[in-house]
């Protein structure tokens, strides 16, 4: 019996998407399976897909401080993990505190110089952040903030993109709502807190996710600013290890898993907000 053309198309299209997804997720899947292989197993041809036996030895080697003959052997990944979490959380918290009110102000509050400042901000988007990096390092050195949490977080707080993002969302809030509250005698701060913030909740979560992700995955600036191994963030720590231990494939995959798993988990749990923030509510589930 011949299949209807639409059924054929359905099967083909779904198969294509499934294949694309499988190919896309394959590297991440392989990363996890190799991390559980015993040492030396991945340097084989043909490359193995599945561990011959599941072993925690790579994670143990990576994460556990071991005492051998009276001396510590330590990759310092766990401190790096805490550093990443702390720095990302601080960046996100402070970043939201700074940019959400500013975005609202640019959208809904009238003040002199608003348009000019806005144009300057948009123009500033074109300048790559790396231009400022070298002098910024020298500046931070003078204030003594090199090799500190503050030195890593501070440059990330200049969230021009975040301000514009929040502004875009605030523009959709009807003016009448705010004017009505003003007529009722509410202060601007009160209006912001009780009316605008609740409406911005999904945007705030999306922005928070963006900021957290951005800070967690940031590489170049922490690489430059942090010199103490105890203060390294995860990407800097594993970049340091990989240059020395390139042949320990399983160990490197374990390090990669430790770095990607937390954000992947966060992303999968909160992906509804993230997608809504990106799609702007224009696409149904």
Partner 1 sequence: MTRQSRAAWLFTAPVLAIIALVFVLPTVLALGLSVTDYSIYALADWSNLRFVGLGNFVDLLTTPLFWRALGNTALFAGLGVPMAIGASLAAALLLHDTTIWWKPLWRVALFAPYVTSVVATAIVWRFLLNTRFGLINYALGLIGIGPVDWLGDPHASIPAILIFVTWKIFGYNMIVFVAALSAVPQDLMEAARLDGASRWGRFRHVTLPAIGPTLLLAAVMSVAGFLQLFAEPYVMTMGGPAQSTVTVLYFMFDEGFKWWNLGQASAVALILFILILGVTIVQTRIGRRYEWL
Partner 2 sequence: MGRGAQQGYEPTRRAMLAGGGALAASVGIAGCTAVTGPAPLRFWATSYEGDYSPLLMPDFTRATGIPVDVQSVPSTAAHEKMLTAQAGGALPDVMMLPSGWIGEFAMIGAVMPLPGPALAGDVVPGALAQTRIGDRCYGVPWSVAPMVQYYRRDLLAAAGYQAPPQDWASWRTMARALKRRRPDDFVLLSLLNWPDTLITMLFQTGATLLRDRDTRGNFRTPEAQAAFAFYLSLYREGLAPRALSTEVQDAVGAFAQGFYAIWPSWPTAMLDFERRKAEIPAAAWGIARMAGPDGPGPASRLDAALCVSATTPRPAAAWALVRHLTSAANELRFQRLIGNLPARQSAWTSPQLATPLIAPFAAQMREPNPAPRVLEWERIKIEMQLVAERIVRGLLTIDQGLAMIDTRVDAILAKRRALVDAGRIA
- What is the b/e burial string over 115-125, where b = at least 16 CB atoms within 10 angstroms of the residue's CB? eeeeeebeeee
Binding segment for partner 2 (CB under 8 A), chosen from 29-37, 104-112, 114-122, 240-248, is: 240-248
When binding is defined by CB under 8 A, the residue of 51, 79, 155, 202 that contacts partner 1 is 155
Query: 66 - beta bridge partners?
Result: 73
Q: Which is nearer to partner 1, 21 or 201 (CB)?
A: 21
Rounded-to-10 torsion of CA 167, 173, 174, 177: -110
DSSP structure class, residue 246: T
Residues between 148 and 167 that touch partner 2 (CB under 8 A): 149
Strand partners, 73: 66
Residue number, 89 or 213, with CB nearest to partner 2: 89
* Among positions 131, 184, 185, 198, the unique one binding partner 1 when judged by CB under 8 A: 131
Q: Where in 88-127 is the site for partner 1 (CB under 8 A)?
A: 98-99, 101-102, 104-106, 109-112, 114, 117, 121, 124, 126-127
Determine if 133 is a binding residue for partner 2 (CB under 8 A).
no
CA 266 to chain centre: 10
Closest to partner 1 by CB, 71 vs 189, is 189
Tell me the backbone φ, ψ of residue 117, rounded to 5 degrees: -60, -40
| Residues 245-264: x where in contact with partner 2 by CB under 8 A, - otherwise, as a string | -xx-----------------
Interaction of residue 77 with partner 1, rule CB under 8 A:
no
Q: Are the CB atoms for 34 and 249 separated by under 8 Å?
A: yes
Q: Which among 122, 105, 123 has a CA at the least distance from the CA of 114?
A: 105
* Whether 90 contacts 71, CB under 8 Å: no
CA pair distance 76, 102, nearest whole angstrom: 39
Task: Return the residue of 3, 24, 60, 227 that touches partner 1, per CB under 8 A.
Answer: 24
Q: Is 89 in the site for partner 2 (CB under 8 A)?
A: yes
Binding residue (CB under 8 A) for partner 2 from 13, 25, 26, 201: 201
CB closer to partner 2, 7 vs 194: 194
CA distance 151 to 25: 35
Q: Which of residues 4-63 bind partner 2 (CB under 8 A)?
A: 43
Q: Are strands 66-68 and 71-73 parallel, antiparallel or unpaired?
A: antiparallel
DSSP 194: I
- The residues of the shown chain that bind partner 2, judged by CB under 8 A, are 43, 68-73, 86, 89-90, 92-94, 96-97, 137-138, 140-141, 144, 146-147, 149, 194-195, 197-201, 204-205, 208, 224-225, 227-229, 240-241, 243-244, 246-247
């Amino acid at each position: 019996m011949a299949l209807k053309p639409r059924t054929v198309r359905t099967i083909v299209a779904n198969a294509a998407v499934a294949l694309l997804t499988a190919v896309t997720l394959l590297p991440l899947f392989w990363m996890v399976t190799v991390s559980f292989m015993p040492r030396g197993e991945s340097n084989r041809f043909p490359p193995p897909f599945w561990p011959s036996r599941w072993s925690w030895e790579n994670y143990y080697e990576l994460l556990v401080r071991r005492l051998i003959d009276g001396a510590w052997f330590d990759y310092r990944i766990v401190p790096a993990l805490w550093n990443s979490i702390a720095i990302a959380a601080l960046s996100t918290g402070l970043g939201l505190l700074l940019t959400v009110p500013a975005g609202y102000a640019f959208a809904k509050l009238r003040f002199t110089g608003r348009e000019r400042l806005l144009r300057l901000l948009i123009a500033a988007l074109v300048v790559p952040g790396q231009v400022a990096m070298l002098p910024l390092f020298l500046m931070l050195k003078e204030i003594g903030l090199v090799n500190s949490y503050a030195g890593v977080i501070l440059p990330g707080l200049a969230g021009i993109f975040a301000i514009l993002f929040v502004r875009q969302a605030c523009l959709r809030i009807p003016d009448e709502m705010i004017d009505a509250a003003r007529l009722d005698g509410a202060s601007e701060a009160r209006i912001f807190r009780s009316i605008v913030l609740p409406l911005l909740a999904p945007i705030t979560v999306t922005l928070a996710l963006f900021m957290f992700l951005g800070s967690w995955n940031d590489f170049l600036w922490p690489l430059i600013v942090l010199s103490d191994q105890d203060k390294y963030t995860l990407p800097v720590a594993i970049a340091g290890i990989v240059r020395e231990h390139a042949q320990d494939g399983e160990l490197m995959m374990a390090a990669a898993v430790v770095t990607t798993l937390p954000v992947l988990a966060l992303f999968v749990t909160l992906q509804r907000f993230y997608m809504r923030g990106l799609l702007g509510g224009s696409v149904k589930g």
